[in-house]
Amino acid sequence: MMQPRHFISLLDLSSTEFRTLIGRASELKHNRNPDFQPLKGQVLAMIFEKSSTRTRISFETGMTHFGGSALFLSSRDTQLGRGEPLEDSARVISSMVDGIMLRTFAHESVTTFAKYSSVPVINGLTELLHPCQLLADMQAYFEHRGDIEGKTVTWIGDGNNMCHSYINAARVLDFRLNIACPVGYLPNQAIVDAAGDRVNFFSSAEQASIHSDLIVTDVWASMGQEEEQKKREISFKEFQVNATVMNVANNDALFMHCLPAHRGEEVTADVIDGSQSVVFDAAENRLHAQKALLELLLS
Ligand code: CP
Ligand code: NVA
- Is 119 in the same domain as 251? no
Helix axes 279-298, 131-145, angle to 10 degrees: 120
Convert the pLDDT of each residue in 19-44 to its tens digit.
Answer: 999 999 999 999 999 999 999 999 99
Q: Tell me how many domains the chain contains.
A: 2
130 is catalytic: yes
Which pTM value belongs to this model?
0.98
Out of 42, 54, 133, 139, the active site residue is 133
Where residue 265 sits, what CATH number does that domain have?
A: 3.40.50.1370
CA distances from 20 to 113, 161, 162 (A): 27, 24, 22
- Whose C-alpha lies nearest to ligand 1, atom 2? 54
- Is 50 in the same domain as 191? no
Q: Is 49 in the pocket of ligand 2 (CB under 6 A)?
A: no
The pLDDT value recorded for residue 17 is: 98
User: Mean pLDDT of all residues in the chain?
Assistant: 98
- Is 22 in the same domain as 122? yes
Average pLDDT over residues 156-163: 98
Split at pLDDT 50, 70, 90, the class of 76 is confident
Q: Is residue 38 part of a domain?
A: yes
133 is catalytic: yes
Q: Is residue 251 part of a domain?
A: yes
198 is catalytic: no
The pLDDT value recorded for residue 2 is: 75
Q: Among 1-10, 131-140, 208-217, whose mean pLDDT is lowest?
A: 1-10
The pLDDT value recorded for residue 92 is: 98
- Is 293 in the same domain as 178? no
- Is 252 in the same domain as 267? yes
Convert the pLDDT of each residue in 213-222 to its tens digit.
Answer: 999 999 999 9
Split at pLDDT 50, 70, 90, the class of 295 is very high
- Is 106 in the same domain as 151? no
CA distances from 257 to 63, 85, 89, 283 (A): 25, 35, 33, 9
Q: Is 217 in the pocket of ligand 2 (CB under 6 A)?
A: no
Q: Is residue 1 part of a domain?
A: no
Give the ligand whose atoms come closest to the C-alpha of residue 126.
2
Give the ligand whose atoms come closest to the C-alpha of residue 129.
2
Residue 96: is its pLDDT beyond 90? yes
- For 277, residues 6+ apart whose C-beta sits below 8 A from its C-beta are 254, 255, 256, 257, 271
d(Cα 173, Cα 203) in Å, to the nearest integer?
25
- Is 278 in the same domain as 140? yes
- Is 185 in the same domain as 72? no
What distance separates the 2 farthest-apart alpha carbons in the chain? 56
Average pLDDT over residues 232-258: 98
d(Cα 266, Cα 280) in Å, to the nearest integer?
17
The pLDDT value recorded for residue 105 is: 97
32 is catalytic: no
Q: Is 161 in the pocket of ligand 2 (CB under 6 A)?
A: yes
Q: How far is the CA of 223 from the centre of ligand 2 (A)?
A: 6
Q: What percent of the chain has pLDDT over 70?
A: 100
d(Cα 58, Cα 290) in Å, to the nearest integer?
7
Atom of ligand 1 lying closest to residue 130 CA:
3
Identify the CA nearest to 258 among candidates 137, 84, 111: 137
- Is 145 in the same domain as 124? no
- Is 158 in the same domain as 227? yes
Convert the pLDDT of each residue in 184-194 to its tens digit.
Answer: 999 999 999 99
Residue 1: is its pLDDT beyond 70? no
d(Cα 164, Cα 185) in Å, to the nearest integer?
12
Q: Residues, the chain, total?
A: 299
Q: How far is the CA of 294 from the centre of ligand 1 (A)?
A: 18
- Is 142 in the same domain as 77? no
- Is 112 in the same domain as 158? no
Q: Is residue 202 part of a domain?
A: yes
Q: Which domain holds residue 110?
A: 10-130+284-298
d(Cα 260, Cα 156) in Å, to the nearest integer?
16
Q: Is residue 2 part of a domain?
A: no
Where does 116-264 show beta strands of DSSP type E? 121-123, 152-156, 176-180, 199-202, 214-217, 254-257
